[in-house]
Each structure stands twice: as C-alpha cells, then as structure tokens.
Amino acid sequence: MPKPKQLDPSLSPRALYGAELRFKRESAGLTQAELGAPMFVSGSFIGQLESGARRMQGEYARRIDEILGTDGFFERNVEAAQRSRYPEHFADAAEFEAMAISIREYAPLLVPGLLQTEDYARAVFRAVHPVAPEGVIDDLLSARLDRARVLEDPTTPLFWAVLDENVLRRPVGGPAAMHTQLAHIAALMRRNRVIVQVLPYAEGAHAALEGSLKLMTFADAPPVAYLQGLATGQMLDEPSHVERYGLAYDLVRAAALSPEASLVLIESAAKDYHDGY
C-alpha cells in the first residue's frame, strides 16, 4: 500500500493531531483494531483518524483519553483540531484536498479554487462579500492561494477538471484578470501538471447540469464526493453515492472537448481578453 502523503499542518491541522494519536497508540502497544474495539469502531476508522482523513469528534476524544490514559489530552485539544481557515461548509473539503492522490472536478460557474489566480480569486471574494473589510478579503485570498500549493508537487495529486464553457466566458475581475487566469490554466496544462477539458455550450443538457462536483481519492482512505452550493457543501463517502457521482463525472468528461482541443479554446479565449484591454 502506498505510504500516506506527508501533510502540511498549515493546510491540515488534523495532521499533527492524528500523528499524536498514532504515537500514543503505538506507545501503548495497541494495534488500530485493538484501540477501535472498545470504541465500537473498526481499525480502519482509527487509521483514518490518525491520517487526518476523519475529523475527531468529542465523544471519540474522551474515549481515547480513557483507553490510552492520556489525561484528557485529546478531549482538551479536539476543539483546536477542528478550527479551520475555511468556511465551515468547506473545511473538510479543503483539508481532504491536501491529502488526496487524485482530484476530479466539474466546475459549472467558476475556475476551480486550486487553479485560481490572485486577481481572479479577489474578484470572486469581493463579489460574494461586497461590504467586507479589506482585511477579511485578504485572509480569504491567502487561504485560497495556500490551497493551490498542493499543485507544487510535480505529480500528486492528479488534478483533472472539466470546465463548463461558461467559466471561460464570464469576465470575472475584468479582461486583464481573465487573461491572466486563463493563461495560468494553459501554462499548467502545457507543463502536463493538470488535465483540463472544456464542456462546450453546444453539448446542451448533460449529467452534471444541476451543480458542481468534486471527487477525491486517497492512499489510505475511501474516496469521497463533495457537492457545493451557495455557502453550502456536502461531503459524501457512502460508496453508492460516490459511485453515482463518479459516473456523472465520467459522462461529463466524455461529452467535453479533448484536452488538446480544450487548450486551443482556452488560449483563444485568453487572447480575446488580452485584445480587449
């Protein structure tokens, strides 16, 4: 089995928390299954807590302290482990991105967060929070740009996005910001760091017409699907649900332009924006 991806604690606060759980469990001479048995959970569940794939809840923290004799350490610190730089509905998704070995995304309205440039992201946040102080916007922007650091690794995660043509045509931030944004996506594609396809208007109805979709897989945890709406989000790990949304993504991907044709369209749109300012 592949080794778990090393996590950046600034992106996933649960990483150090999970590492401490692993250290205490191993110091007590217990396997994951042996720790899980009196908690009525599986050994794989304990493994997901240790890897940060699951958020530790208070009831589990208290029980772990009792079993491992850790003097309330986990119960005291579970609240800190749950803090995030991201909105509550997106906190788990942001942390899962930092652990994923593959991310597949259908974006109907906006450039996916991991691909956004500074000017584009700032325009998005200012539109969503029109009266927020500039410092709030700066904090949101910093968190979003930090998320993109996962793509600094040359190979992991595999990132595959399908962009609705609407994403290319809506001038978020104005022509200059859009030129820079689309040129950034094209550059990542030309470096073979990401795979991007465009779903053209001409396709009409398609399998993901009702909203955005993100699918993530991991080295040591089950795959998940994340659905996002206006200030809402839902994380799903039930296998039948993940399979259903995986099929929807595959159908959208099949209907989209090839990566090569998509690159031509993206660069053409970038040039149009450049010529417009």
CA–CA distances in Å: residue 274 to residues 81, 259, 268: 44, 22, 10
List the single range of 110-119, 163-172, 201-210, 217-226 with lowest mean pLDDT: 217-226
Whether residue 138 has pLDDT greater than 60: yes
Residues in contact with 67: Cβ distance below 8 Å, sequence separation at least 6, in sequence order? 28, 30, 35, 38, 39
Percent of the chain, pLDDT > 70?
Answer: 91
Minimal CA–CA distance to 106: which of 169, 168, 160? 160
Minimal CA–CA distance to 74: which of 93, 96, 56, 86? 56
Q: How confident is the model at residue 12 (pLDDT cuts 50, 70, 90)?
A: low
Q: What is the pLDDT of residue 13?
A: 57
List the single range of 8-12, 95-99, 156-160, 272-276 with lowest mean pLDDT: 8-12
Residue with the two structure tokens 């009702």 = 210
Q: Do residues 105 and 162 make contact, with C-beta atoms less than 8 angstroms apart?
A: yes
* Phi–psi pair at 114, nearest 5 degrees: -70, -15
State the Cα–Cα distance between residues 10 and 180, nearest whole angstrom.
27
Whether residue 111 has pLDDT greater than 70: yes
Minimal CA–CA distance to 189: which of 259, 252, 273, 118? 259
Q: How confident is the model at residue 80 (pLDDT cuts 50, 70, 90)?
A: low
Whole-model pTM: value is 0.76
Helices 118-128 and 134-147 cross at an angle (nearest 10°) of 130
> Could you give all domains of the chain from N- to C-terminal order, each with its CATH number?
14-82 (1.10.260.40), 91-275 (3.30.870)
The tokens for 173 are 């931030």
State the Cα–Cα distance between residues 164 and 227, nearest whole angstrom.
16
